[in-house]
Structure 1
Amino acid sequence: MNSPDQWSPLEVQFCFPVANNSCPKKVRSVLSICVMQTVMIGAIVMTMLGNMVVIVSISHFKQLHSPTNFLILSMATTDFLLSCVVMPFSMVRSIESCWYFGDLFCKVHSCCDIMLCTTSIFHLCFISVDRYYAVCDPLHYVTKITIPVIEVFLFISWSIPIFFAFGLVFSELNLIGAEDFVADNNCAGLCVVLIFNKLWGVLAPFISFFLPGTVMVGIYIHIFTVARKHAKQIGMGPTTKQVGSESKTKSSSKKESKATKTLSIVMGVFVFCWMPFFVLTIIDPFINFTTPEDLYNAFSWLGYFNSTLNPIIYGMFYPWFRKALRMIFTGIIFHPDSSTLSLFPAHA
């Protein structure tokens, strides 16, 4: 998984040329290095900037201080941290096939990688719960999804992944049974922390991805069923209703349906981006860790790219995001009382 591939003996280079036990370094063409650097640096910069806009928008504009948006704010913070703490060092390792940052930071980096990935999907899981009450039980939404409830969601979304990631990595439970492989590939410049034995190769993806992902899919299927039923009921409602009340109901239903659709796309993109990596994590220990390193890195970056796409999805489907973006780049947010400006159309 994270082991060196087979290099041509005629082109062998080493991560640490002066070290006796240095790992061989991947030899790539100048073109392939330039392409990889362009794609990865582009992803890192877009992830940083996009999620920073989300963080600034929701934090600054009081109109966006809602329970759902606080969850989105926390998720954007997770994606932003991924772009700062994880992706740059993963880029160096992916291109150079070497780890230059020491054994301790290898573990810390791997912990952050696992933690932030798991935190993201936990956020999405709780966002689906929020959407469930907004669409399926709108009359009790404001009493069930309150700020204290959101605080509990956020505490769970951060504390469990932190305990899971740091506990697993520093206890090295994931390496039990894979000692021979680690010993055979042990060399200076290799970070093997994210190797999973057969037990944790199944348990880790189940805890981090498949279990909460299944819950989310089930919730959204139910939400769409209820939303369709509500739409039919509104469309077939009696014409004797008051026009103002009916218009307000339809407007509210349309807004909730659009928000639910958008957040469902966010979830769908997450599943698409991370599914290959987690499936590979399960398979790898059962094929004696023979997965090509470049394939493993490609699936890892497909997962990282999810954090790049989320703000783009917000920009495509949320008018408030586009308006906030314009205010940020034109400097309007620096004007007095800009935090009270409206980001929604007057008729909404």
Structure 2
Amino acid sequence: MSGNWSVASLSLPTSSVATAPPNTSQFPPLTGWEAPSFTRAAQFRVGATFILFLFAACSNLALLASVWCGRGRRLASHLRPLMLSLASADLMMTFVVMPLDMVWNMTVQWYGGDTLCKLLCFLKLFAMHASAFILVVISLDRQHAILHPLDALSAHSRNRRMLLLAWSLSLLLASPQLFIFRAIRVEAVDFTQCATHGSFSRRWQETLYNMFHFTTLYVVPLLVMSCCYSRILLHIHLQHLRDRAGESYLRRSGTDIIPKARMKTLKMTVVIVLSFVVCWTPYYLLGIWYWFQPDMLRITPEYVHHALFVFGNLNTCCDPIIYGFYTPSFRADLAACCHRTRSKASLRSPDRLSVQQGPHSGEHEMDPATNNQAAGD
């Protein structure tokens, strides 16, 4: 199934088609098979994915460091685990899905063996489920914070339970990958591919499997998130109607007037969710089209498949950008890091060393200390 679009193998090279099985008594034969190649469109995909990989790795590691040990520690105790989990899921996508996709497109066939085939396909789906489910947890947290602001004391333990459930479900739903993927070798043409070919006796079974993961990866999270933010918008609308009607209520935090900080967090999570929907919707729609009309692979230009997958990966880069836009502490951590880096670079430069060794070097000895102190404030 290497070239066939599937949720189970989202990052497989679309230029490859399913490989013929080594034993036709065990696996159903394939017709019309031809060896794939590293096409110009696939080269574009590798180059674009590499750029996204560099940016996503740096930005998400910076986000993780900021929330873990930087100024991001000032976040509310129930928000920190959410942002740490979101950054961790994005890093899994960055360091598992993207490198595998790049290498696999370049090598075309599979050289990693059967065990690595199963493991990496499992990790891919695990990372994608985790990313989607954590967005669901964030949406549920925002809904509870706006609709039930007086339950803030229980938010920390509630979010931890939901996060544990999200990671556990991701692990469970991705586990079938360990059984349906295998390295299949075609002796006649000396070609090996990591594919699900032979794991399903009927095409409808494979389609059902893909539709199930499409539902858990996209449909269910989208419905839950839409429901959460619809209830939030309805709540805010009702508050405005009450204010216009002149009704007087006891002013409590988040009950009649949503605090500015809470509203800012709400806007941030809405944009994060919208980026997930915008980035992945085209690729999922392409998948649905393929499941019901497999001939679309021959109708649609190859670069369209590659471009839509790269666009989906863009979501991994969006989260730290959105977080930084709404969170001054993250921007301050980045500024401090850049300031510290420039200070170290100036210390190592020959001009700087020659100045310090001159007759007036005492006038400059305090600069590094001053710079370091400024960077730490």
Shorter chain as normaliser: what TM range? 0.7 to 0.9
Task: Give, in whole Å, the separation in 2 of the partners of 1:324 and 1:254.
Answer: 23
Q: Report the AA paired with residue 255 of structure 1.
A: A
Deviation at 1:301, TM superposition (A): 2.5
**Equivalent residue, structure 2, for 1:264:** 270
**Equivalent residue, structure 1, for 2:86:** 75
Q: Report the AA paired with residue 104 of structure 2.
A: R
1:51-66 superposed matches below 5 A: 51-60=60-69, 61=71, 62-64=73-75, 66=77
* Greater relative CO (CA pairs within 8 A, separation 6+): 1
1:104-253 superposed matches below 5 A: 104-140=115-151, 142-146=152-156, 148-166=157-175, 168-172=176-180, 188-193=191-196, 197-231=206-240, 233=242, 253=259
Task: Give, in whole Å, the separation in 2 of the partners of 1:42 and 1:224.
Answer: 37
Q: Matched residue pairs, number?
A: 310
What TM-score do you get using the length of structure 2 for normalisation?
0.70
**1:47 aligned to 56, 60, 76, which one?**
56
Deviation at 1:104, TM superposition (A): 2.5
Q: Report the AA paired with residue 85 of structure 1.
A: V
CA contact (8 A) 1:23 1:187 kept: no
Structure 2: stretches of 5+ with no match in the other structure:
4-13, 18-32, 200-204, 342-370
Task: Give, in whole Å, the separation in 2 of the partners of 1:221 and 1:112.
Answer: 33
Task: Give, in whole Å, the separation in 2 of the partners of 1:290 and 1:190.
Answer: 22
CA contact (8 A) 2:121 2:178 kept: no
Structure 1: stretches of 5+ with no match in the other structure:
8-20, 176-181, 342-348
Q: Report the AA paired with residue 114 of structure 2.
A: D
Q: Report the AA paired with residue 323 of structure 2.
A: Y
CA contact (8 A) 2:283 2:312 kept: yes
CA contact (8 A) 1:71 1:127 kept: yes
CA-based RMSD: 3.9
Deviation at 1:152, TM superposition (A): 1.1
Task: Give, in whole Å, the separation in 2 of the partners of 1:102 and 1:95.
Answer: 17
Deviation at 1:298, TM superposition (A): 3.2
Q: 1:93 to 1:87 in 2, by over 3 A?
A: same
Identity of aligned residues (%): 24
Deviation at 1:98, TM superposition (A): 3.4
What TM-score do you get using the length of structure 1 for normalisation?
0.75
Task: Give, in whole Å, the separation in 1 of the partners of 2:90 and 2:254.
Answer: 36
CA contact (8 A) 1:274 1:303 kept: yes
CA contact (8 A) 1:57 1:324 kept: yes
Task: Give, in whole Å, the separation in 2 of the partners of 1:231 and 1:187.
Answer: 69
Per-residue displacement from partner, 1:73-132 (whole Å, max 9, x unpaired)? 111011112211221120122345333333322222221111111111110101011101
CA contact (8 A) 1:129 1:219 kept: yes
